[in-house]
Amino acid sequence: MFPDVLYELFSNMPRQGPGSKESTRKAYRLIPRLPPQPHILDVGCGSGMQTLELARISNGKITALDNYQPFLDDLRKHAKSEGLDEKIETINGSMLELPFTKNSFDIMWSEGAIYIIGFEKGLREWKSLIKRGGYLVASELTWIKPDMPSEIRIYLEGEYQGIKNIEENREIIQQADYNEVGSFILPKSGWWDDFYEPLQKHLNLLKPKYTGNREATAALDATQLEIDMYRKYSRYYSYVFYLMQSR
């Protein structure tokens, strides 16, 4: 179960995982031959920084799904303030049981969230929702340099057993019946500017509040360790955007 303190920690954040407006734009512009008004499903949208950016740069409709209503409320508020609310539909639901019919979307999009279901499983289970020749764009935690020190290897494999290198993920993409149409590594700024820097500020505020609360303190300490590990070992891993076309 996700500790309540983590919902508090990740609320009022620009985003709930690594990424940036620039990386969202870059990924979208790498997609070839889009229809004039694509229907996009943003899976695990959080408070929707990338959802809003997709609404700004596309002429399509975005369906944004998350399982935490306050994040969706925050997204709706920002969409309305920018006049984008007619382009964005929010749905409270689980990516493990997506409530959509087959061939519904031109693009499925998921930034930093597909790990919840697993990269390979997500590719296979979500494929039926994508229109023929449509696209899946996902950022996935990936080893980007070999011979990583044992400290970070043991830590990350403990946090996410599914972590693989780029070539291994490309093999998964092929076996799941997609063609890769592009990929790129999220730069370090995509980890710090809108995620770890504001997250560190939130941590510093919440730690004194939860002194003496074992469960909350453990959750906050685990988040601090995550930041410290990235600061120390960022050359070995990152999120990689994979752009895939369904065959």
Residue 92 is classified by DSSP as E
CA-CA distance, 87 to 37, in Å (whole number)? 11
Q: How would residue 222 be classed by pLDDT, with cut points 50, 70 and 90?
A: very high
Which CATH architecture does the domain made up of 18-189+235-246 adopt? 3-Layer(aba) Sandwich (3.40)
Average pLDDT over residues 13-39: 97
Average pLDDT over residues 210-233: 97
pLDDT tens sequence across 39-49: 999 999 999 99
Looking at residue 3, its pLDDT comes to 76
Residue 186 is classified by DSSP as P
Q: Does residue 1 carry a pLDDT above 90?
A: no
pLDDT tens sequence across 182-205: 999 999 999 999 999 999 999 999
Handedness of CA 72, 246, 174, 238 (dihedral sign): negative
User: Distance from first CA to last CA of the chain, Å, rounded?
Assistant: 37
Q: Pairing state of beta strands 237-246 and 130-143?
A: antiparallel
CA-CA distance, 158 to 114, in Å (whole number)? 17
Q: What is the mean pLDDT of the chain?
A: 97
pLDDT tens sequence across 94-137: 999 999 999 999 999 999 999 999 999 999 999 999 999 999 99
Q: What percent of the chain has pLDDT over 70?
A: 99
pLDDT tens sequence across 64-103: 999 999 999 999 999 999 999 999 999 999 999 999 999 9
Cβ atoms of 50 and 24 within 8 Å: the answer is yes
Q: Would you list the domain boundaries of the chain?
A: 18-189+235-246
CA-CA distance, 233 to 179, in Å (whole number)? 31
Q: What percent of the chain has pLDDT over 90?
A: 97
Q: How would residue 7 be classed by pLDDT, with cut points 50, 70 and 90?
A: very high
Looking at residue 2, its pLDDT comes to 62
Average pLDDT over residues 9-38: 96
Q: Does residue 217 carry a pLDDT above 90?
A: yes
Q: Does residue 213 carry a pLDDT above 60?
A: yes
Looking at residue 31, its pLDDT comes to 97
